[in-house]
Every structure is written in structure tokens, then in C-alpha cells.
Amino acid sequence: MKRFIGHCILVATLIFTTAAVWADDAEKAKTPVTGKTIKMTLTDAVSLALRSNRNIAIYYLNRVMQKYDLEIAEAEFLPNVRVDLSSSPTLTDTYTTTAGSKVKTLKEAWDADAILKATQTIPTGGEFTFSWENAYTSTRTRTDGGAAAPYTSPSIWSLNFTQPLLKGGGLDYTQASLTRARLAEQENILSLRDSISGIIVATINAYNSFYQSSRNLKIRKTALEEAKKQLETNKILVETGRMASNELVQSESHVADQEFSYEGALSTLETDRLALIDILDIDKTTQITPDEEITIKERTPDYKRCMEIALENNTGFIQTVNAVKRSELDLMKHENERLWALDLTAQYEEDYDYSMWKNDADDDKTREWYVGLTLTAPFELYGYERIAKRKNLLLAKKSLKVARNDLEEARSDLETDVQNKVRNVYTQMKLVERAKKSLELARMKLEFEKAKLNVGRSTIFQVVSFQNTLIDKQEAELNQTLSYLTSLITLDTLLGKTLETWNIELKGNYKEIERELMGYK
């Protein structure tokens, strides 16, 4: 019997222990995991995003590859120097039988060549070519009873120059590829600037949303505390006979409404916290506390000055300008291809039978030079090539006309956008002033209505109504302040001045990034 009771106690202990563990685990599951808490200003958030956001590293890696496109285009006018070396030693052993006697012949041969070639393209389309070839040939023949070892070492150098005078010539035509590369480089830099600016703007918007949620939570918490405080006051009034008991329902309902709003504000705050953390690329469990009160300083942007800045910095407008330049290059190319080919050529050459470094080398030297013009005049009277070239020329002219029309349209649209953004800044500032004044009046009206309630000249319904109005005005004033800041951000984005506003410079040391990419130490 005692053993049976002992088993029952043991089983019961295990059951209760297991239940307690499950209950503890369930409680832990309900409790959100929290990490360290950090105080953060808007400037802190932007700085952290620029340091930790993964996309920024990708943007700079792309720039490493884009820089090579411009370097390749610029290298077109750099000298190209090449050296080719070759060597070919051979050994031949020959036995011949003549009248019963054997003769052994051993032939050793060695051929070596060294060729230096340098070419230099100049911006007019001409090309210099320098070539220097040195050869060495040695043949050593050993036959029973004798030996011979003749050798030769000829040397030839020449300098050639070719300059197209019509087709394929000219500064604009020759440098067209370089011009295109520079236009692309300009747009690549603007793209990098806009990408980083986009992260900054996204960080600002996420921080402002989080700040707004944090402030709204405080507003809702204060409203809930005020509602509970008013409920207690009303209970005292009921106990003293200065208020009907049925009027407490209104106060209790108001408390319930504020509790509901408070829980909603908590959820919104958590959502905005995670959105901010996602941009910052930090630990999801990090708790953030805004470490500043957002204040505004009135700015007075001038439309004329803003328009000048936009014309110089707006990416969309600059791309449209570059589209016109590319169309002009295309038209020039097709017009150049229809010209006759007239080329100027000149060459000087010296040919040495033996090494040019020998004292008597001039005795075995041959000189040659010439200057000439070559004219090729194709007459495409009929056929595919004539039609295709005419079509390409017409297409280039049409594309240029469309590009210029798009440029006028882009300028007009930009003027409208700048005008709207500048006007919106002033409008939002006026609305901020109106919101502040409206908030102050709402506070005064609520205090006045509470005083009337205490002397029995008002009702709970009216006080609750004024309390709700005050909450709405507080949120409206906060929202309007953030709307004004957003209007400034939007204007900066349009003008391409976000980085300048935040005193941020783009990295220029792409070689270091390239070494990291290649795994160099």
C-alpha cells in the first residue's frame, strides 16, 4: 500500500512538473524576444544605413566595372607597344657514302627574331606605326675535314603615318566612342548618387514613420491616462451627488476606446520599428528609442535658383540631354560613312643587311620613303547598300528630331515639377503654423470644458468629444510637421541635392574596392 502511494506521488509530481514546464514555455513564447536598446537620432540612422546597408556595397562594386568602360575608351589614344620574340635552333646530322667512303656532315642552325611594334592613334583619326625587326640567322656546318659558320643579322625599321582626310577622319568622328563613354560615365555616377540618395531618403522616411508611431503611442498613452483620471473624478462626482451614475457609462466607454487605440498604436510602432531595422540591416531584436524631438526650420527656396540646380543635377533631364548628344553622334557617323575615302599616307624605312649597330652599317643600308594620297570614290547607283545607307541616314535624322523634341518636353516637365515642389514647401509650412495654432486652441477648449464640468455646466459627452478633438489635433500637428519635412526631402531629390544636404561624398577610391574584390591584401 505504501509502495502504491509512493508511485502515485511520483507520477503526480512528474505530471505537475511537466505541466509547469509547458506553462513556462508557453509564457516565453508569448513574450517577444528583445535585444539591446539604443537611442537613435535621424542623423544616427542615416549614418548607420550608409555603413551597414548591403546594397551600397553592391552599388560600389558595379562602379568598379563601369570605370573600366571609360578607361578602355580613353586607352584608344594611348600608344600600344608590343614585342615579339622567337627562336628556332636546329641540329642536323647527315651521313653520305661516296665510292665506298662515308662522310659525316653536322649542321647547326639557329634562327632568332625580335620585333618591336608601336602604334599611336591620334584624335584626328590618323595613326603612327613604328616597326623595328631584328633577325639573326647562324648556320654552322661541320664536315669531316673542315667547318664553315656563316651568319646574317639583317635589321629593318620603318615609320608609317596614315591620316583619313574625308571618310573616317576628323576630331568629332574619331572621338565619338570616347564621347559616348564619357556620357555613360556621367550617367553611371548620377545613378550611383541617386541609388545612395534613395537609401538615405528611405531611411529618413522609415525613421520619420517610426518617430511618428512613437509620438502617437505617447499621445495615446497620455489620452488613456487622462481618460482613466477623468473616470475616477466622475466617480467622485457621482458619490457626492453632483453627477448622475448613468453618465459614468460614457467615461467607461471612453476609457475602453483609448485602450483599443493604445494597443493599435503599439502594433504600428512595432511594424515601423521592423521596417527601419530592415533598412539599417541590424539585429531584428534591437529596440530603438528616438533620441530627439523633430524640429523644423523654415526654408525659403527660390524657384529660379532651384531651376538652375535642377538643370545641372536632375538625372532624368541630364539623360534626355545626353540622348540628344548620342543622336547627334549617330547622325554624324552616318553622314561620314557616305563620304569619299581620301587618305594621306607617308612612310620612311631603313633596311640593313647586317646589324645597324656595326661601324660600317651604312655601307649595307637601303633607305626608302614615300608620301601619297589614296582616293576611293564609291558610286552606289542601285542595290541594297544604297537603300540601307539612305534608310540609316533618315533614321538618324528622325531620331535626332525626336530626341530634341523630348528634350523640350523634359525641360517643360521639369519646370512644372520644380514649381510644384517649391510651392508645396511653402504650403506645407503654412499648414504647420495652422496645425500648431489649432492644437493650442483645442487644448484651451478642453481645459475650459473641464472647468465647466466641475461646476455642473457641461456633460461628460462634451468633455470626451473635446478630448478626442485634442488627440486628433495632436496627431494632425505631428503629421503636418513630418509632411513639411517630406516636402523638403522631395525637393532635394528632384534637385539631386540629397547628398549635399547631408554632407555626404561619394567614394572615389575604386582601386581599393577592386583589390578587395580580387582578393588582394
- Whether 521 shows a pLDDT value over 50: the answer reads no
The secondary structure of residue 32, as a DSSP letter, is P
Question: Considering the entire predicted model, what is its pTM?
Answer: 0.77
> What mean pLDDT is reported for the chain?
83
357 lies in which domain range? 84-121+126-167+352-377
What is the mean predicted confidence (pLDDT) over 60-64?
85
Give the whole-angstrom CA distance, residue 155 versus residue 113.
Answer: 10
Give the whole-angstrom CA distance, residue 521 versus residue 515.
Answer: 7
What is the pLDDT, as a whole number, of residue 144? 57
Q: Which three cell numbers stand for residue 479?
A: 503629421
The SS3 call for residue 124 is coil
Looking at the domain assignment, is residue 159 inside a domain?
yes
The SS3 call for residue 64 is helix
- Name the pLDDT band for 7 (thresholds 50, 70, 90): very low
What is the pLDDT, as a whole number, of residue 30? 37
Work out how many domains the chain is built from and give that number: 1
Looking at the domain assignment, is residue 47 inside a domain?
no
What is the pLDDT, as a whole number, of residue 139? 73
Give the whole-angstrom CA distance, residue 57 versus residue 69.
Answer: 20
Nearest to 142 by CA among 185, 93, 182: 93
Place of cell 505504501: 2
- CA separation, residue 350 to residues 85, 125, 151, 256, 312 (Å): 21, 26, 20, 105, 56
User: How does pLDDT run across 68-121, given as a tens digit for each residue?
Assistant: 888 888 888 889 999 988 887 776 656 565 555 666 666 677 788 889 999 999
The SS3 call for residue 244 is coil
- Name the pLDDT band for 258 (thresholds 50, 70, 90): confident
Whether 230 and 463 have beta carbons less than 8 Å apart is answered as: yes
What is the mean predicted confidence (pLDDT) over 173-184?
93
Looking at the domain assignment, is residue 181 inside a domain?
no
Q: For 145-176, b where at least 16 C-beta lie within 10 A, e where not — what string?
A: eeeeeeeebbbbbbbebbbbbebbbbeebbbb
Looking at the domain assignment, is residue 367 inside a domain?
yes
Looking at the domain assignment, is residue 225 inside a domain?
no
What is the pLDDT, as a whole number, of residue 29? 33
Looking at the domain assignment, is residue 144 inside a domain?
yes
Looking at the domain assignment, is residue 147 inside a domain?
yes
Q: Distance between alpha carbon 428 and the CA centroid of its chain, in Å?
A: 31
Which range of 27-31, 46-50, 234-238 scores highest in mean pLDDT? It is 46-50
Pairing of strands 365-376, 287-290: unpaired
Whether 195 and 392 have beta carbons less than 8 Å apart is answered as: no
- Whether 23 shows a pLDDT value over 60: the answer reads no
User: How does pLDDT run across 414-468, given as a tens digit for each residue?
Assistant: 999 999 999 999 999 999 999 999 999 999 998 888 888 777 787 777 888 888 8
User: How does pLDDT run across 188-236, given as a tens digit for each residue?
Assistant: 999 999 999 999 999 999 999 999 899 889 988 988 888 888 888 878 8
Q: Which three cell numbers stand for residue 167?
A: 571618310
CA angle 298-498-191, nearest 5°? 160
